Amino acid sequence: MSHAAVAPVLVIHGGAGVIRHDMTPAKEKAIRLAMTEALRRGHAELKAGKSAVDAVTAALVVLEDDPNFNAGKGAVFTHDGKNELDAAIMDGSTLAAGAVAGVRRVRNPILLARAVMEHSPYVMLSGDGAETFAKEQGIALVDPSYFRTEERWQQLQKALKEDAAKRPHVDVETAKHFGTVGAVALDAQGHLAAGTSTGGMNDKRWGRIGDSPVIGAGTYANDGCAVSGTGWGEFYLRTVAAYEICMKVTQMRIPLKRAAAEVINQEIPSMGGNGGAIALDAQGQISIPFNTDGMYRGWIGADGVPHVAIYGDEDDGTAELPEPAPADSTKPL
């Protein structure tokens, strides 16, 4: 697919499942500031003529370093009281991808995922092996205590009490608080990229890995579409959600907003799951569907103005963006 010059766009999320009554004014302010900074950092890469991969990476590092999100510094705890981190990144122009799962000492998992993509013959590395590769690549490692926050520790204690009371292991209220972070970008060359980073599910057991690091499930990009998901990972895995959205767009010629809504707001809920996603196409069209109380989300376009929203009834500005003209089905993608 050849691209004419396009206006760069960056879209980010900090997770679906926001519950308004759990939000303090101070926390809301901190989250909005972090989302704004992530947008500005990523957009600076695009403005400098750098790649969509560079923009995605820059934005996600900001969110991984902020304790308000379930990724990096603010990751949730496993049942055993540890932090296990997952991340993935994909370059839509080449279909190159890298991912890591179950790492415990990597400060910025998205940087390691990118190193896997660019400097290894593999797509996904996990656990101790991934950390050995991180050392070889000069990726920053930290003591596991770096990831601990009191808020996440208390969330685990609540979940452990529910376990002891023999309540269902995956309680719906806990499952809503994923906080996974993600980004999708379109650069000036018309290339797309997607990335996702997460601490996974609170109180997860047995080395559970969700959709975020799985290419096609929580993260996917090709030459016409980029998606990062956030939600109940088991359902995104079973529907191969990110890939399905992009196939609807690039193969079936379904408009981006409709394609994303069909998967996120119809197919996944019909199976009992919930969550959201950010999606971006090669024309710069944005879709941010979600079916939870809220979703940390934001985008920035050619004018360099960050748009950030949290709650379901809050305008994020994307509703005003026009749909692109119908594609000419006689022209090859």
Write down the pTM of the prediction. 0.92
Which entry of 57, 78, 174, 180 is annotated as an active-site residue?
180
| CA pair distance 83, 145, nearest whole angstrom | 9
250 is catalytic: no
Q: What is the pLDDT of residue 43?
A: 98
CATH code, domain with 195:
3.60.20.30
Read off the pLDDT band of 328 (50, 70, 90).
Answer: very low
Question: Model confidence over 55-102: pLDDT tens digits?
Answer: 999 999 999 999 999 999 999 999 999 999 999 999 999 999 999 999
Q: Which domain holds residue 275?
A: 9-320
Residue 155 inside a domain? The answer is: yes
Q: How far apart are CA 288 and CA 284, in angstroms?
A: 13
Backbone dihedral angles phi then psi of residue 149, each to the nearest 5 degrees: -130, 150
326 is a domain residue:
no
pLDDT in tens, 108-167: 999 999 999 999 999 999 999 999 999 999 999 999 999 999 999 999 999 999 888 876
- The interaxial angle of helices 109-119 and 127-137, nearest 10 deg, is 80
pLDDT of residue 322: 54
Instruction: Please report whether residue 331 resides in a domain.
Output: no
In the prediction, which pLDDT does 44 show?
98
Instruction: Assess if residue 329 is contained within a domain.
Output: no
Beta strands in 165-293 (DSSP E): 181-186, 192-198, 219-221, 225-231, 275-281, 286-287
Task: Name the residue among 259, 288, 257, 258 with its Cα closest to residue 275.
Answer: 288
User: Does residue 95 lie in a domain region?
Assistant: yes
Mean pLDDT, range 284-295, rounded to an integer: 95
HSE-CB for 32 with a 13 A CA cutoff = 13
Element holding 46 (H helix, E strand): helix 25-47
- Asked whether residue 166 is domain-assigned, the answer is yes
The number of folded domains in the chain is 1
Does 278 reside within a domain? Answer: yes
Encode pLDDT of 255-270 as tens digits. Answer: 999 999 999 999 999 9
Asked if residue 312 belongs to a domain, the reply is yes
Residue-wise pLDDT tens digits, 21-64: 778 999 999 999 999 999 999 999 999 999 999 999 999 999 99
At 328 the three-state DSSP class reads coil
